[in-house]
Structure 1
Amino acid sequence: MQFKTSLSDRETGSTETGIVNLGGVDHFYQWIRSPGSGTEKPITHKPVMVFVHGWGGSARYWESTARAICQDFDCLLYDLRGFARSVLPNTGVESLGSYELGDYAQDLGLLLDHFGLERVYLNGHSLGASIAALFAGQFPERVERLILTCNGIFEYNALSFKAFHLIGGYVVKFRFPWFLSVPLAGRLFMARFLHRPLPDAMSREFLEDYLMADEAAAVGTIYTAVSEQAALEMPQIFANLAIPTLLVSGEKDIIIPAQLGRNAAALNGRIEYLEIPQTAHFPMLEDAGAYLTGVRAFLQSGI
Structure 2
Amino acid sequence: MPYITVRGFNHYYEWISESGNEPSDKPVLVFVHGWGGSARYWESTARALCDRFDCLLYDMRGFGRSRSNTSETSPLAEPPETVVELSYELETYADDLAGLLDVLGLQRVCLNAHSMGASVAVFFLNLYADRVDRAILTCSGIFEYDEKAFNAFYKFGGYVVKFRPRWLYGLPFVDRLFMQRFLHRSLPGAISRSFLNDFLMADYEAALGTIFTCVSKKATEVMPQEFAQITVPTLLISGDRDIIIPAEMGRQAAALNNNIQYVVIPNTAHFPMLEDAPTYLERVREFLDVGVVQPSVAGSRE
TM-score scaled by length of structure 2: 0.90
CA offsets per residue over residues 199-243 of structure 1, 9 Å max, x none?
011100000000000011000000001111111111011111001
Runs (4 or more) in structure 1 with deviation over 6 Å come to none
Query: After superposition, where does 1:24-43 map in structure 2 within 5 Å?
Result: 24-35=8-19, 39=22, 42=23
- In 1, Cα distance between equivalents of 2:146 and 2:223: 15
* Partners of 2:291 and 2:131 in 1: CA distance: 19
Given the alignment, which residue of 87, 92, 106 partners 2:95?
Answer: 106
1:4 equivalent in structure 2: none
Specify the SS of the correspondent of 2:133.
strand
Query: Counterpart of 2:156?
Result: 167
Structure 2 distance, partners of 1:72, 1:205, is 27
Asked if the contact 2:7/2:84 (under 8 Å) is kept, the reply is no
1:136 aligns to 2:125 (yes or no): yes
Shift of 1:95: 5.7
C-alpha distance in structure 1 between counterparts of 2:69 and 2:102, whole Å: 22
Separation of aligned partners in 1, 2:128 and 2:165: 40
Residue of structure 2 equivalent to 1:8: none
Does residue 228 of the first structure (1) align with residue 217 of the second (2)? yes
Shift of 1:45: 2.4
Which of residues 32, 35, 39 is equivalent to 1:59? 39
After superposition, where does 1:147-296 map in structure 2 within 5 Å?
Answer: 147-296=136-285
Alpha-carbon distance, 1:97 to partner: 1.7
Q: Unpaired segments of 5 or more residues in structure 2?
A: 71-82, 293-302
| TM-superposed deviation, 1:161 | 1.1
How far apart in 2 are the matches of 1:89 and 1:100?
Answer: 21
Percent of residue pairs bearing the same amino acid type: 59
Q: Is the 8 A contact 1:25 1:89 kept in 2?
A: no
Change (3 A) 1:233 1:27: same
| 1:17-49 residue CA offsets vs partner (Å, 9 max, x unmatched) | 51001111110001101026x73xx3x321000
Residue 18 of structure 1: aligned partner: 2
Answer whether contact 1:235 1:264 (CA < 8 A) is retained: yes
- Where in structure 1 are there 5+ consecutive unaligned residues? 1-16
> How far apart, in 1, do the equivalents of 2:266 and 2:187 lie?
16
- Return the alpha-carbon distance in structure 2 between the equivalents of residues 122 and 84 of structure 1: 19
For structure 1, which segment, 158-167 or 187-196, has the greater mean C-alpha deviation from structure 2 after superposition?
158-167
The Cα shift of 1:71 comes to 1.0
Partners of 2:19 and 2:2 lie apart in 1 by 18
Paired AA for residue 213 in structure 1: A
Which of 21, 27, 39 is the aligned partner of 1:47?
27
Deviation at 1:89, TM superposition (A): 5.0
Which residue number in structure 1 is paired with residue 116 of structure 2? 127
Aligned partner letter, 1:76: L
The residue that corresponds to 1:6 in the other structure is none
Q: Which amino acid aligns with 2:50?
A: C
Once superposed, what is the RMSD of the aligned Cα atoms?
1.5
Give 1:185 deviation, angstroms: 1.4
Opposite residue 292 of structure 1, the aligned amino acid is: L
8 Å CA contact 1:152–1:260 kept in 2: the answer is yes
> What's the offset of the Cα at 1:301?
3.6
Q: Distance in 1 between matches of 2:224 and 2:191?
A: 33
Matched, 1:74 2:54: yes
Matched letter for residue 48 of structure 1: V
What secondary structure does 1:196 align onto? coil
Measure the CA separation in 2 of the matches of 1:227 and 1:48.
33
Report how many aligned residue pairs link the two structures: 280
1:230-282 superposed Cα distances (whole Å, 9 cap, x missing partner): 11111011111001000000000000000000000000011000100000000
Partners of 1:147 and 1:247 within 8 A in 2: yes
Deviation at 1:114, TM superposition (A): 0.8
Q: CA deviation at 1:302?
A: 5.6
Look up the match of 1:5: none
Equivalent-residue separation in structure 2 for 1:96 and 1:56 (angstroms): 22
Partner of residue 74, structure 2 = none
